[in-house]
Chains A and B, each alone.
Chain A
Amino acid sequence: MILGGEVVDLKKHFKDSVKLEEIRNLLVKKLDFSILESKDSIIIQAKDPEQQQLIDRFNAGQIDMNQFLVEAKKKFTCHDHSVRIINKWGTTQGIMVGETTHPLRPIEVRINGIKLFLHPIKSNQEPESQVPQRPEEVTPQWKNLEPTDKEDWVEIEESGYQERKDGWAVAAASRRGKTHAHEGSHRDDSFDFGFQNGWSILAAADGAGSYRLSRVGAKMACSMAVEHLKAYLENFIIEENEGSAIPKESDLLQIKRFLIETVQRIIQSVKDEANKRSVTFDLLSTTILIAIHHHWQGKNMVASIQIGDGLIAIWHGGSNVSILGKADSGVFASETKFITTKGIENELEHKVFFAIKPAVDAIAVMTDGVSDDFFPPETIMPKMFESVYQELIGSAKPNENLLKWLSYERRGSFDDRTMVILHRR
């Protein structure tokens, strides 16, 4: 790092070229100043505030070049070769067993009052070619900050659990991702779930990270999905369809209608909310994933609607999963869709999916913070389901376990993570 402060042009201070070369080497190679050279100038720059201070004192005439060098040697000589001890050292001989960053000359160090010398090791690298570098700290320093925006508060994490009488249960959890924690912003994932007339309703949403109020959109989308579907499904039972593997077309169309109308009503309500707040609709951008489940003729009937990324998956036990719907896939730039995307209403017809399956152990609705980490889903998700299932079964606090499970570490994965899972108890 170079500071942008005052600099010293050595050519102005040393006319003798041998002397100039000597000072230049001393400053750059031993004292770790930064240098810019051209035909007419040799500019010395500071790399840290201490060096800058010294240069400033020199420029202000408080010290001359000799004093400058004396001070610099005092301050920076050891500094440029940071010593890291990785083993024990033999105190009797005063020889250190350790590692340094390539010392060019003997370095004196004091450890617990014992004076030690580090001697340079012969290296085949041209010493002239490299300015000594200070070792840098490179582990990611993630911060964990409270959201600064106190409006529309969203808890950093949230979870829920509810059992059904017929042997199923729903566990749900959502936790704030590293990026939001680091910059002190809100989680903009959300979820909700509910039961109605034998139906289970699961919803998750991922507010678009770069829109200020997306968390509001996501929360509304989830709670309204459950609320509207509860109303639609209150008296709706899929009729028997004897001799057929799938329900009657009229029933399927009815379910499709319910799902599409639910999303249409979500879109309208979020629009109204944007108007109420006098902000653009975009600011509340969110994805929405909804799945509903009911038993039908000894099988499981699952229907879904999804706008944007994330995934809805059915686990048949073992290594078998079915994916409902299609995840976006492009070369790099498949644009994620949101409920606010222009013309999205016209696409809803193609966003409803059905699965009628005999063996189902679990159905999970997850935002892309989770699903992107288990890719490709067809092969990786069974492992994910097994792992989650173990956390849920027989546990006194399945929702807390799910929340804990969602804290797995993965490089490059910093998004909010949300999962709503309907599973057999």
Chain B
Amino acid sequence: MIYIIDHKDSFTHNVVHQFENFDDVTCDNYNDINENKLNKSKVIVFSPGPGSPKDYPVSSDIYKKFKGKKKIIGICLGFQQILHCEKGKIIEQRKIYHGYQSKIKVTSENSLFKKNRKFNVGRYHSLKLKEPFVAKNFEITMRCAISNVAMAIENNNEKIYGFQFHPESFLTENGNLLIKKILSA
């Protein structure tokens, strides 16, 4: 079972439907966590949402508790939540991407995805990861083809994955394939 933690976003149920393609999904609000279901789940997903990771200490605690024990996936705010827990700095960016379709590129040999592949994705973020960012076992594997901003992280050792863009958006090409690959990794 996949447990999705909703940060009161207006895109979360797109994420739910996307993951339901592959497994049973339970989705609860971050301030209404069902411990029993959370413990039983195989995968934890941190949803997109407004604000910044420091607004959601409950999600940070869950991340730290289950890191290395379950597969963890973060989308947009969820991606930043993972980075925040790994001592990454999340900062405002000058150009803001809300409802924006842009090209991103796979930049690492070690990614589950083929290096140099480019594709269109939907983006909804005003914040970004401040670089350089270094954390054990983590690698930035995708970047914005124009601005070079970090778009994905992969930690294949501990099975932690994050996307700054929205795989569930109608603006993203092959979003389902992306999730399928991460879930079967």
A binds B: no
Interface, chain A (partner B; CB < 8 A): none
